A and B are shown apart, each in its own frame.
Chain A
């Protein structure tokens, strides 16, 4: 399963988007506010999801702002970060 599909499945499951199916999620739609309707409390859960499921830790709030814009930006962020942290389990390089 590709990152996009896994991510959508995880978003639905972990963030309890119970009225939405994978096909309903528009790759370009905003995750927060309009679109998927996530809120600031979901941002913390989304950060945990990325680390637990994809081994990617969000760098900082600015990175989160860009990455959390849509499924498309989030997939790009996951793939870029995974490449930057090979085998990265989520420890931090000091």
Chain B
């Protein structure tokens, strides 16, 4: 089967600083992969390259199908009503029907004619997800989309993303620095450090996952990030 994402020997430098250092990565269709790492480890850069926002690289990064991305900020056009922001993803002026359906999926029915600036952070982020999903992407890139949300909204968003993923089955690449988030959502966790994939964890726990079920593996993933939980506790 064709890969959803295939990256080989990907290297990216900003001046003298190497941000990505020979990344090899393959993602299967429908697979949920989390890219985990500290700030500045290169995970967002990798996502931007896959989204086609940065082409000045060495090595290859191939994404054969349709790509969508949701950023940390919702990046909605404030002068367009919610439904028009979603139909923007369809790349045609019409498409209210599709937009309304997508809004229902992200549980925002009734906000179709609202202005984006009147939405809360979580609501705006859900619109941004809807906009990414109406394209029916083969690959969904999530660049810390929960990073700016409060803890409670974040929990709700985790469920929503898992739900949407289960329904549409795109390959997902989620960039995060939250270990629990990665463990709750991903099939596979890649730990990035200084531009390299330093560890891979397969998460075979049944879904939906509860916090308690991931505790054991959490310790091992944190160890790869250089955080010794046992010692800290």
Answer yes or no: do A and B interact.
no
